[in-house]
Amino acid sequence: MEITEHSRAYKDFYHQLNATGMERAYGGFAPDTLDRIFDWERDEVEKTVWLRFKNTGDGDLATLVSKLTQYDGIGALNEKLREGMLSSEYSRRMVSVAAAAYEATSIEDYLDYIFEYYDKKHENSALATLSYLKPCNKLYDFFKTVYLSSDDSTARSTAVDGMLCCKGYIKDPLDHEERSELIGMARAFLSDDPELRKKKLARFENGEFDNIPRTYGLYKKISYEESISQAKQQKPQEEPDEMVTGIVDATDSGVYIVYYEPENTYIPSKLSDDLDVKPSVGDKVNLLKKQKGQSVIVSVEA
């Protein structure tokens, strides 16, 4: 029997291709589209991808272009990059093209364009793109530079994610559950002080962060039925907040990072409104360790 119903991948592809406004801006083409379409759909889809990219240079299509089997997709990406560099175009479109070319070929020269784009624009979206790419030493060195030198705490946090990917702590950058397991280790990097960040990086590279406990289950995928069942079984009372003592390890964008030795964890904390003295790095503090929300430093020990 002849198949007349198109695949879900085919339908999703054309829906996104014809989308407009916010849906087009915040949507995206599934990178495995060409793996999920039916064989009899391939000629049409590949031709559509090829012609749309050649005529418009749509950066959202770059990953699909890199996977074309009937056209020279890598050649088309290289052509767009050359055109962009000749016209000094530094845009998100060109970042997408360079990222797709790198992922497909592992040629590290493509990364230079994205590095230069970030140096000129300082857009964290470019850093985020880099943090999802195939790890290599060149990427790791770039993330280290951002972590050590950037005044932007968000950029430093993204750079830490990239370093964890490059060093193999995160195996799949697209797996949010896996990333969430490393929250404790990521917190250990937090600091506004460039000199302290150098020391933290050295400790990380020496393996001193390896025994920081992982956090499991924040993004556990469960069915709708399971979620309803868990909600019904949930106890009304919550774990009580706890008064503990720790050492101020660093400050980061006005937040105090307190090291709590019994659990080998780093706790982001704010100052109590009643506290009239600001603690310094190295001070012993008493804090209300909250189960939900940000913990609160209530006193500084003399």
pLDDT tens per residue, range 146-171: 999 999 999 999 999 999 999 999 99
Lowest-confidence segment of 58-67, 215-224, 251-260 by average pLDDT: 215-224
Task: Tell me if 124 sits within 8 A of 136, measured CB to CB.
Answer: no
Kindly give, in sequence order, each residue whose CB lies less than 8 Å from that of residue 86, ignoring residues fewer than 6 positions away: none
Please, are residues 69 and 101 in contact by the beta-carbon 8 Å criterion?
no
Mean pLDDT across 234-249: 78
Highest mean pLDDT among 87-91, 139-143, 217-221, 227-231: 139-143
Pairing of strands 265-271, 242-252: unpaired
Residue 217: what pLDDT? 53
Q: What is the spatial distance between Cα 36 and Cα 13, in angstroms, rounded to a whole number?
A: 11
- The CATH code of the domain at 238-300 is 2.40.50.140
Q: What is the 8-class DSSP label of residue 192?
A: S
The CA radius of gyration of the chain, in Å to the nearest whole number, is 24
- What are the boundaries of each domain within the chain? 8-232, 238-300
Residue 220 bridge partners (DSSP): none
Reported as a single tens digit per residue, the pLDDT across 96-107 is 999 999 999 999
What's the CA gap between 17 and 24, in Å, rounded? 8
Give CA angle at 32 (176, 16), nearest 5°: 90
Q: Provide the whole-model pTM.
A: 0.84
- 183-218 burial: b if 16+ Cβ within 10 Å, else e: ebbbbbbbbbeeeebeebbeebeeeebeebeeeeee
Q: Which of 280, 245, 271 is nearest to 259 (CA)?
A: 245
B/e letters for 85-98, b = 16+ CB within 10 Å, e = fewer, are eeeeebeebbbbbb
The SS3 of residue 285 is strand
At 200 the three-state DSSP class reads: helix
d(CA 95, CA 127): 10
User: Residue 71: helix, strand or coil by DSSP?
Assistant: coil
Give residue 219's pLDDT band: very low, low, confident or very high (50, 70, 90). Answer: very low
Residues 6+ apart with CB under 8 A from 2: none
